[in-house]
Amino acid sequence: MLSFFGGKDKSGGGAAGNARVSRHSSGWGQLLARMRNEESLRVLDIGPTSSTNINFITALGHSIYLANLVEDAAKREWMLAAEDGEAARFDVERFLAAHLNFSGRGFDVVLFWDTADYLPEELVGPVMERIHEVMAPGGEMLAMFHSPAKFGAEAAKAEFCRYHLTDTNAVDVQRAGEYPLLSHYSNRQIEGLLKLYKGFHFFLGKDNLREVVVTR
């Protein structure tokens, strides 16, 4: 599901009943500084709908576009039937056309969160390439990656989270469902996923999440 909110529109999605936990985010702190100093930015928030984020971004005078890729990618409708002894595979092109078609919009800020770890592996590279295509030169993206130590028995029951923005260098984390962690990436593999971008900076977290701020 994709939705667009512009100007200072205050509409948004419903809130979940789970408690929010504050998490320090150096990456968000960096993007927040930019959003306070620049006007009329276009923001792409890739994650479960957060009315907090919609209100926060639009109150700053920016526009926000939403895409919940993890929830949509988990649906069986995107799997192509196996043929000639080959394994079933994800219909990458149809998914990109349905969920990452921005009708010519370009984005200055992308909040990718930890989306990559929950997507089918064959979809991650094409998603990163499509986001690169729609980001404006000099645009920035915040991405998070779970530590390989997170994987194992607990990966199948990982808590998928919604990230709520705040006016500090912290985000509020709230459980938004259960989806398995499908992939994990070393720093070198992350650099490979980001090879099209101009540069990136890693921030080490204390909770098995690595943050990366990426520049187009």
> Cα separation of 172 and 150, whole Å?
20
pLDDT in tens, 155-185: 555 678 999 999 999 999 999 888 888 888 8
What proportions of the chain, in percent to the nearest 5, are helix, strand and coil?
30, 30, 35
pTM for this predicted structure: 0.86
CA 145 vs CA 115, 121, 149: distances in Å: 8, 14, 11
pLDDT in tens, 101-125: 887 778 999 999 999 999 999 999 9
Element (H, E) at 53: helix 51-59
Tokens 């912290």, residue located: 170
pLDDT in tens, 2-40: 444 555 433 333 334 578 999 999 999 999 999 999 999
2-10+22-215: in CATH 3.40.50.150: yes
Distance of CA 16 to the CA centre of its chain: 19
Please state the domain extents for the chain.
Answer: 2-10+22-215
CB count within 10 Å of CB 167 equals 10
Average pLDDT value over all residues in the chain: 85
Distance of CA 4 to the CA centre of its chain: 16
Tokens 């929830």, residue located: 71
Strand partners, 146: 209
The interaxial angle of helices 121-134 and 92-99, nearest 10 deg, is 40
- Top pLDDT among 153 and 194 is at 194
CA angle 154, 181, 110 (to 5 degrees): 135
